[in-house]
Amino acid sequence: MNTPPPEGSAAANGHGLPHGNGSGSSSYLGLHHHDDDIRLHSPALRQSPPLDERKHECPEGDEPPLALMLRTVDFAAYKHRCQRRKDLDQTPYINHPVAVANLLSSTGVTDIRVLQAAVLHDTVEDTHTTIEEVIRAFGPEVASIVEECTDDTTLTGQERKAEQLRTAPLKSREAQQVKLADKLHNLESISRSPPVGWTVRRIQAYFIWAKHVTDICGPSHPPLAARLQTLYETAHTRVNGEYFPCHPDVCGPLTDQEKKRVDPRFALCQAGDNPCPSPIFF
Ligand SMILES: Nc1nc2c(ncn2[C@@H]2O[C@H](COP(=O)(O)OP(=O)(O)O)[C@@H](OP(=O)(O)OP(=O)(O)O)[C@H]2O)c(=O)[nH]1
């Protein structure tokens, strides 16, 4: 089994260097900005615990829902603190789980355990967080949903994709809801600002696979299933100045509205130009 990188490090997102998932990706843009990034390249240091480990325990007595939610966000923000998304802006990783929770909440999900699990859904897969830690901090129900949303990182990327398809119908309604929102946010961000280095073919392969997964999970939360269907039927991406349908089989023709939806910085670029404003870490 691979040893995960330091908690919160850029590559600890499971899509960088060390998980051996066969994705072939390397460090972000070949740049190393953080202490944690530098630590990654030393196997000994890779195994050392974070220097400023915090304890996240459940407080005594009743905790108001708002306080519980903020504590959950704080926990996830700490765990993902040094990670970045794979887009050109290297968006802070925590933006993704927060957006996933917001997609659920804004489409009518009120079960706080689902919203907490959405915020926490990548902590075990992509950082040193353990399920036991999530149980201690947030209880077994939230931890169980998080566990259902956690891929086995000892598998290759392709195996993980096959496993997600196989297990999607077996998951609880709550975990399926988180999956729907997770995929919706990934797909929206891929179409607007694809991960660095992704080709049109890779974007389309991701859309085709994600549709299989979300078609299975759709009945768990119809409002998000409808949003996903619209995305599959309309989403385009712009690569090297040209628009391409993200889902090659179900996508309709490119519309002016869709052109505007794609990141306007990219839409204004000519082939080969860098977007403006420049990505912050470029
Ligand atoms: N769209 C997008 N995805 C990003 C970005 N940064 C990191 N990711 C993560 O990359 C994964 C999608 O790429 P894959 O091709 O599936 O992953 P891989 O690089 O590990 O093979 C998602 O992982 P996941 O959450 O485990 O989801 P999934 O692949 O299981 O759906 C997603 O969260 C980004 O900027 N945009």
Q: pLDDT tens digits, residue range 204-253?
A: 999 999 999 999 999 999 999 999 999 999 999 988 778 999 999 999 99
Q: Which residues contact 38 (CB under 8 A, 6 or more apart)?
A: 32
8 Cβ below 6 A of ligand 1: no
Which run of H or E residues covers position 72?
helix 65-79
Q: Using pLDDT thresholds of 50, 70 and 90, give the confidence band for residue 188.
A: very high
Predicted confidence at residue 12, as pLDDT, reads 42
The residue from 126, 148, 151, 263 that is catalytic is 126
More confident residue, 196 or 155: 155
Give the burial class of 218: count Cβ atoms within 10 A of its Cβ; 0-12 exposed, 13-18 middle, 19 or more buried. Answer: middle
Predicted confidence at residue 39, as pLDDT, reads 36
pTM for the predicted model, two decimal places:
0.81
The residue from 125, 151, 174, 263 that is catalytic is 125
The span from the CA of 7 to the CA of 122, in Å, is 12
CATH number for the region 10-21+64-267 comes to: 1.10.3210.10
**pLDDT of 138 strictly over 80:** yes
Could you tell which of 86, 89, 154, 188 is best to mutate to test the pocket of ligand 1, judged by most ligand atoms within 8 Å of the CB? 86
Q: Using pLDDT thresholds of 50, 70 and 90, give the confidence band for residue 269.
A: low
Highest mean pLDDT among 34-38, 47-51, 243-247: 243-247
User: b/e map of 159-178 (b: 16 or more CB within 10 Å)?
Assistant: ebbeebeeebeebeebbbbb
Q: Using pLDDT thresholds of 50, 70 and 90, give the confidence band for residue 34.
A: very low
CB count, 10 Å around CB of 83?
28
For the chain, percent of residues with pLDDT exceeding 90? 65
Predicted confidence at residue 69, as pLDDT, reads 98
83 Cβ below 6 A of ligand 1: no
Q: Is 126 a catalytic residue?
A: yes
